[in-house]
Structure 1
Amino acid sequence: MPRSGMKTPDWEVVMSPLFQSRRVWLGLMLGALGAVRIWAMAATGVAAFPHVMAALTVLVPAVLFGVVMRSAWPGAAGLLVVLIIELSLT
């Protein structure tokens, strides 16, 4: 509850400018898609533990780098590497 006389800030003011960028959200969604692909590879038994760890080792830093740089390209590159790992296992 706000104190008397204090105005509740608007959502746009509270929300960080980092997360207002569509490129950041696109990069995060590409990272989520990559995580789903990795989970599917692990759940179906296509990928062993080292393959899953290699894919996560590439995907997570790429997506975080994309968030810091406010770009979707590192997340897309991470997803591409995950797809290459998946294709090499089939």
Structure 2
Amino acid sequence: MIAMVHPGPGLRTRDLLRELYGRDKSRYEQQSHPHLIATWDPFEPDPARTHATLDDLATHLNRPAEHYAQPLVQYVWYCTALTARHDRPLPDTTWA
């Protein structure tokens, strides 16, 4: 498995989500069926599986950053984890 941390758009959680959940393939990776696999809150709204919007998910994901006295800068990033093409497909529970 190969992991790679990607710089995010700083404070733009919504922009990153639009990129990851967009109809077109992400400019970062060739994704299919993007969806939320794991988070600190099991009740996070997943726009791919519920009626939630990207704004709903962005609001939930930004909640921890709102508790700091000073505004956080550049706290949005993500990490991709890829398997080799010949590896077996992994279920969401394994990825989580």
TM-score by length of 1: 0.35
Between structures 1 and 2, the one with greater strand share: 2
Bigger Cα Rg: 1
Between structures 1 and 2, the one with greater helix share: 1
Choose between structure 1 and 2 for higher RCO, CA contacts under 8 A separated by at least 6 residues: 2
